[in-house]
Structures are given as structure tokens and as C-alpha cells.
Chain A
């Protein structure tokens, strides 16, 4: 929190102290389905256009219309993008939650609230700005039919006036929001202007918060993780997508549809991506396994409940060695859980998905840039290893808007893996005497495959989930079984060394290590700065990016006096995995799972670590 004591600013005097610039956060409380998404987007994009690092997060209910929803917008001149536990400003637009929203404000906080509610000013240590929302809409000259849809533009105008967002910038953002269409942009802008004017004429500014133009967003993009994943898949050459809608993964496939035109076959004009909405997730995974077997780059996107339904089929793909890519945009919960809340609770489940012995490859993107990169790379990995690849994004990365560097074009040609066409098969047989689907010719555990349709009398093989020998012939012999499982194990160990390796940030002399993955990154980054600045505690940080865990993870654990394993699930699943794979003493390893269904905050990370150290 800001160190300035603002309690005395709650009277009607204009503020004349030191301003706080580009370093505060808003909560916008509205009702789900009331159209506030446009207003919030416009605010975020306006700040982005002003060059201010900004991040917006939608905390929404599992409901189409009516239930409370919150949107947090954080501007940070230092580029921190994590969700803040407490926001200085609340735009209170939902009577059902108003009491709580006002209560959550810190001392000196700001409450923007509709005047017609006659809510009263229960707190004396915050600043109220009452705005006549209905009256402004009523007096605005816009088509009557639209009046009940533009109410949320009033707070955009009030915020613009109270915190210094230029009206032209708002208009630009509106135009972008409506894909350049002037008519809706102008109509909404009318409300914004009127609210701005009313606020200027009727309120004295009594707070220190200001936006001021910076130059920190030039050349950057704003995108959701799901869009990034979709673009990654399209640049990765996806050809078959089968899916069944489920929050928070739906917008990933929607986005493939939105952008698949970039993949039209220029010679024919037809699509090069087939997208099928399956009857359920079992069918979706079945389709992509069939497609992967037949040579497509195939993928699905789902969330926890869908993963549950895919268990049997992914066991088959693991064992029959069929490539396919499964995005799990993780949401909270066993069962249906909290469908619109974020989580990292599926890593153990996906890693071991399938009955019997199976260990699946898992990628763990921690940013929208990595969603794009893993979007294309997952196909290379899957075809290289001839196995399913799970990519675990989450609701926070997937559905929220993030500022990012424009994505880097894939730096490697596609790796289609060991696939023999008819001629290659012929020379393979000439050279090696024989070809068998599951023969480990190269010693890396990865066999050679042929695709259906290969015009060669000996190309056929029989894919099956039953016991088989190297020639893909049915076998119930124990030695065949064990040999096959040992080869799969070799493949898995090889993957440990080649999958995306962890990213580390090491500080000289640091004795404390933080181990984490995925979307916790921003909260941890900020908390580490606080630990250093406030408490003089220097930390090393390792962000795991794939399973199986790389050797460097074990080294990291071994080389620190104290290790905190921070993750956003209830049971501490990464820590459990460490327990399976790391055989030395873990007495110095402290599991710090959160799992409260919200994006992690730096406050929580900081307090957890400080609390643990104090308790020592």
C-alpha cells in the first residue's frame, strides 16, 4: 500500500500533496452479462495506448447474466502485472456486492458509485465520488434502443476524468474495440464524454492517483493466452482440431476458428484445418488420436472434466505411441468445481493419465509468449516422441488480457518425427533387414512409424492397446511386455533432457530457492523484489516448464538451504511430484500451495515466505 496517509483527504478539499502516478489498481464490480466487458477492455486498452504497463483480470462467476463479477485493472510503471490483493479504487456498480466492495477498500481508497442509489457514506476514511449514472445516460443524445446497454460507459468517463485519461485515447480504444466501426464507437463515446464533463463540473479531485503517459508499451501487444495458444497451433501446422466446449478452454478453439483463414490453401482455396465439435471429450480425444495415427497434427482443448473423460484414450495413445496435443486450460476443482476460477490442479492427473503405468509429457507455459511457443512446439515434441503432449495453461493466462512482446516466429523447421514413407521404408528394410513398428533402432526408445496409406506391401502395422511385441503383433508374453515398457521408459528419460528446460533467475549468494510453474510467475517476481527491498532476503527462482522434471530441478533443490515450492492448487502437487522423483532429504523443502481459485498475489507469496521464516 501507498505510504501516504490519505485519511484527511476525505473531506471536500482538493488534493494538493505528492501525486501517485501509474502505480495503483482498480476493482470494477458489476453484474455478469451487463456489458461491462467492453468498458473494462476500453480502460485497459486506453492505458496501454498511453504507454503504461497494464494488466486486466476478469474474476467472473459461472453464470451468464446477473451474478456478481469483478474486473481488476492494474497499472504499474515498474511493469508488475500480478493481481493485487487490495486495490486502491473501487468502481461499485453492483448493489448486491457494494457493501463488501466498499469494506475491502484500504484507508484513503476511492469509491465511485451511482448517485441514484443514495448509498450514503458509511466510511469516513475513504473518498466517495457519486455519479448520476442514469441521469447521464438519460440526457445523452443517443438512440433510445441502446440506452440500457451503455450505462457502463459512464464509469469509463468518470474514471477518465478523475485519473487523467485523455478522451481521444478512450475514443481510439473504443474504435479498436468495435473493429474500427465508427457508429457504435461514437455512441459509446457520447456517454463517456458526458460523464467526463459531468464529473469535471461537479467533483473536486480529492485523491493523489494519476495516469500519465509513459513509453513502456511501444511495440508490445495485448492478447489472451488462449488466443496466443491458438495462433501457436496455427503456426505449428495443426490440421485436425476436435473439441467439446468447456470454460475456460472454449475461446482457444474459437480463436483457431477466427484465425484459420491464415492457413487457407493458396492453390485450392480450401481450409487446411479441420475443426469438429465432437459429441463429448471422449469423442474429441478419439478423433485426434485417429488423426494423429493417420498423420495429422491434431489437437484438442479442454479443462479438468474433459481430461477425466480422456483418461482411457490417452492411455491408449501413450501405449500405442500415437502423437496428439491436448490443451488443458485448467480451472478449479475436482468434479465441476469452480468452473470460472483458475487453478493449477491438474498437473499430477495429466502427468499420470491413463490406467496402468503411464507417464505423459506435460508442458507448462507461464506467459502468453510461451502459450504461442508451446502452441507450435507441442506438435514437434508430440511427433518426435510419438506420444500425447499435454499443455497446461490455466484460466488466468488463458482468458485474461496480457501485455507481451510480439511473438517470435518459430526458430526451427517442423519436426515430423521418425515417419517412413514408401521409399524410405524400402531403403530402411534394405539396410536394416527388417522394419518393426516398435523396434528401438536408434537406442533412444523412439521407434519408426508408417502412416496408413503408405504404398508399400510391408508398411502395415496394427495399432492396439493390447500387449504387443516389437513387430506390433499381439502378445501376452511377460518378456515382451517388460521390454516394451522399458523402451517407453527410455523414451521418457530422453524427454527429460530435451523438453523445454526450466527458466531460472539466480542471485549471487542466495540461499533461498523458489520453485514454481505457470501463471504464478508475476506474483513471485514482485514478491521477490519485496523480499529483497523490505527484508534484505535474496532469492533464487526456478520456473519449471515441462514434465518430466529436468535434472536441473533436482540440482536446484539440492543446492539451496531452503526451498519454497509455490503453486496454485490445494494439495501441493508439484511438491508431491518432487517427492516421487527426488530421492535425497527434502527436510528443507517447504510446500506452499494456495488453491483459492484466484490468480496468485504477490502479497500472498510475500506473507507466506515471511510467515514461514518468522515461525522458524
Chain B
């Protein structure tokens, strides 16, 4: 037997144990590579799948939670309304870790309201937008993230300006906002690991080409375009809370000039190594400028765009008891007969 060669994580599980069912998306769809990254991320972090919920709306992208983390509870909700379902689920049980997938149609059109309100409430979760500029599942209509001037074979030319979901997130008060490219597996991985360590809503807007309806090299949501034009803002390194220098594979010289270090809530560290541009994701103005310049200059900047010390989560603001509400025993759910009697006297 050669099983000894199979790599296992801290829970003694293999990567195979983090997979879901076989994908039914078009071969080559960008969304599949993101599912793969989620699988790898969870495996490498040694996530306890029973504590993870995988959530989505409706769309090709929203189908994908079935294709990863087969041992996690999942909920494929309704179009554009996944945020509210996550809000309720995490109110019921604040111990759950949420990995959610949405599409640009799901988030940018029908779900824009819930997206903004989720962010406003700072519901802790990883919110992945698989952004292909079209509605894949309904056969290739423009989505609201399609750029002005973009052309599609059937639907012609888009004359309307794009909604930038990363920008909406920052403006809406999101404390972790990233953009990436599904063709850049390494960056997607690192960002997801950082996002899952964040105590608040963490948005990752990932350009994820639809090979069937929007993969012409001229389209800035295509593989060809992404591969050619992606400009990462930094090289990103994620260090798990239990990282020991030398033991793990990642190494990074700490004396690098302009190194930005972010301490995550759970003890993890994210280190950003400067590349060609100066960008400090802790600066809101700079973050907004990165996104605006992307549109203005038609460039494809990726990486951790904005980060802020998380503010109170929705659960924090409600001043709830520490036991997850879903696990409270009947004795704490139903006041006594005496309590009812006292109340009744107030109404007599």
C-alpha cells in the first residue's frame, strides 16, 4: 500500500475529504477553479467542516457549494438573497464559519440591497463573488458588472457603466475587501485564508471567466485578458496562528522594505510584500483610488485592496448570551409559570 504518501492535515484528513460532488459546470469554467481553491484552503487550514456552512444564491456560481466541502451543511437559497439567510443562520449559531459564493448577477443586481445591508451589519463570513460579467445560468445576458463598451455576440454592446462590487463594499463599510482572478490560484488561496480569519464580512470579488458566454480575449472578464493584464498589488503571504518559522514552507524576509503586516483576529498574520505600486490597504482613500483607477485606466489590479480592524459584528451589537441561540436548553427558552403569573398581573 502506498497510502502513507497521501498528505494529511492537522485533523488527519486528506484533501479528498474536503471535496464535494462532481461539478456539473461547463468544462473550463472559472468557477470550478475557485471551488478547487476553497477545497485546498479548507484542507490546508485544517478546517472542521462540521463547523462550516457553505451558502449561495442562484446561478452557475451559486451551484458550486455542492462541489466543495462535502461534510459541511450547505444552503443553496434564492436568487440574490443569500446574505439574509447567512445573517439568520449566524444569529442562530455564532460558532459557525461561513463560506459563501455568489455571482455578479446574484450580488450586483437582484441582491445588491442585501449585499449592502449584510456589509452594514458586518456579519462575519467569507463572501466570494465569482464575477464573469454575465448571467451564466440564464445564458449570457450582461450583468451589472460588465464594463461600458463591452460586447457580447447575442446581446450586443453594453452602454451602461459597471457597478464595482468591491467599491460598493468599501463604501458600504466592509472591513475586508479583495479582488482576484480565478486564474491566479496562489493569490486566491492566500486571500481566502486571510478572509476566513477575519472577524467580519470579508468580500473577495474574483474575476472568474465564463468560457461559454464571455471569454473573448477582448472582454476584460476573459482568461486571455486576465492572464495578460493582471497586476497584483502585492505578493501575499498568509501565516496560520500556529505557524512556526522554518517548519512551514513559507518563508519571507521580514526586513523587506515596505512590508505590510496585518494581524488577524484569530492570531493569523497576513504579510504583504510590495510590488510595483505603493498601496497600503489600510488606507481607505488609497483603496478607493485603486478601484477608480482600475476603471479609469482600464487596468486589472488585484490583491487585498482594503483592510480595517473589524468593528462590532451584528451579534456583538445584539448583546446576546454566549451560548449559541440554537443550543439553548428549554429551561432558558421558556420562562416559568411564576413569570407568566407576574406578567398577567401587570395586565389586570
Does A291 sit within 8 A of B, measured CB to CB?
yes
Among candidates B117, B320, B339, B340, residue contacting A274 with C-beta atoms closer than 8 Å: B320
> Is B312's CB within 8 Å of the partner chain A?
no
> In the complex, A242→B96 CA distance in Å?
19
Verify B348–A220 contact, CB threshold 8 A: yes
Known A-B contacts A270-B320, A276-B314, A286-B87; the reply to A452 vs B335 at CB < 8 A is: no
Residues of B within 8 A of A280 (CB): 113
Instruction: Report whether B321 and A452 are in contact in the complex, using a CB–CB cutoff of 8 Å.
Output: no
B78 at interface, CB cutoff 8 A: yes
Residues A265 and B84 in contact, CB atoms below 8 Å apart: no
Whether B21 sits at the interface, judged by CB under 8 Å, is yes
**B347 to A, closest residue via Cβ:** A221
Given contacts A272-B333, A313-B78, is CB(A406)–CB(B344) below 8 Å? yes
Chain B residue nearest in CB terms to A473: B21
> Nearest chain-A residue to B65 (Cβ)?
A462
B92 surroundings in chain A (CB, below 8 A): 239-240, 290-296, 298
List chain B residues, Cβ under 8 A from A459.
50, 73
Pairwise interchain contact A270-B84, C-beta atoms closer than 8 A: no
Contact partners of A407 in chain B: CB under 8 A: 340, 344
Query: Number of B residues contacting the other chain (C-beta, 8 Å)?
Result: 61
Asked whether A512 is an interface residue with its Cβ less than 8 Å from the other chain, the reply is: no
Cβ of A289 and Cβ of B85 under 8 Å apart? yes
A residues 127-168 with Cβ under 8 Å of B? none
Q: Is B321's CB under 8 angstroms from A268's CB? A: yes
**In the complex the two chains form, is B88's CB within 8 Å of A242's CB?**
yes
CA separation between A280 and B90, bound complex, in Å? 19
A454, B96: Cβ atoms under 8 Å?
A: no
Q: Inside 8 A of A288's CB, which chain B residues have their CB?
A: 88
Closest Cβ of chain A to B5, distance in Å, is 23
Closest to A313 in B: B78
Within 8 A of A (CB), among B58-84: 65-66, 70-78, 81, 83-84
Q: Do B334 and A276 touch (CB < 8 A)? A: no
Please tell me if the beta carbons of B78 and A287 are within 8 angstroms of each other in the complex: no
Give, as a whole number of angstroms, the nearest-CB distance from B52 to chain A.
8
Interface: B327 (CB within 8 A): yes
Q: Does B294 contact A (CB under 8 A)?
A: no
Within the assembled complex, what's the spacing in Å between the Cα atoms of A409 and B71? 41
Which among A266, A286, A376 has the greatest number of chain B C-beta atoms within 10 A? A286
- Chain A residues positioned under 8 Å from B83 (CB to CB): 283, 286
- With a CB–CB cut-off of 8 A, which chain B residues contact A262? 335, 339, 343
Q: Does B166 contact A (CB under 8 A)?
A: no
Q: Of A219, A231, A293, which is within 8 A of B85 by CB?
A: A293
A459-475 interface bits toward B, Cβ cutoff 8 Å, 1 = contact, 0 = none? 11111111000000110
Q: Does B45 contact A (CB under 8 A)?
A: no
Question: Nearest B residue to A320 by beta-carbon distance?
Answer: B75
Find chain B residues with CB under 8 A from A473 CB. Answer: 21
Contact B321 A275 (CB under 8 A): no
Q: Known contacts A262-B335, A463-B74, A465-B76: does B88 contact A290 (CB below 8 Å)?
A: yes
A197 in the interface (beta carbon within 8 A): no
Interface residues of A in 448-486 (CB under 8 A from B): 450-466, 473-474
Q: How far is the CA of A276 from the CA of B229 in the complex (A)?
A: 43
A270: which B residues are within 8 A, CB to CB? 319-322
Closest to B73 in A: A452
Report how far A413 CA is from B337 CA in the complex, Å. 12
Task: Check B250 for interface membership: any CB of A closer than 8 A.
Answer: no
Q: Does B159 contact A (CB under 8 A)?
A: no
Q: Does A181 contact B (CB under 8 A)?
A: no
- B348 surroundings in chain A (CB, below 8 A): 219-222, 406
Would you call A290 and B87 a contact (CB within 8 A)?
yes
Q: Which residues does chain B contribute within 8 Å of A284, judged by CB atoms?
A: 84
Alpha-carbon separation in the docked complex, A313 to B114 (Å) = 14
In addition to A287-B88, A293-B92, 19 A-B residue pairs with Cβ atoms within 8 Å of each other are: A235-B340, A259-B343, A263-B332, A267-B321, A272-B320, A274-B315, A282-B114, A290-B89, A293-B88, A293-B89, A294-B88, A295-B327, A406-B348, A453-B51, A453-B73, A456-B50, A457-B71, A461-B73, A466-B76
Interface residues of chain B, those whose CB is within 8 Å of chain A, are: 21, 48-51, 53, 65-66, 70-78, 81, 83-93, 95-96, 113-114, 117, 121, 314-315, 318-328, 330, 332-335, 337, 339-341, 343-344, 347-348
7 contacts between A and B (CB under 8 A): A272-B333, A276-B121, A286-B87, A291-B91, A452-B72, A459-B50, A460-B49
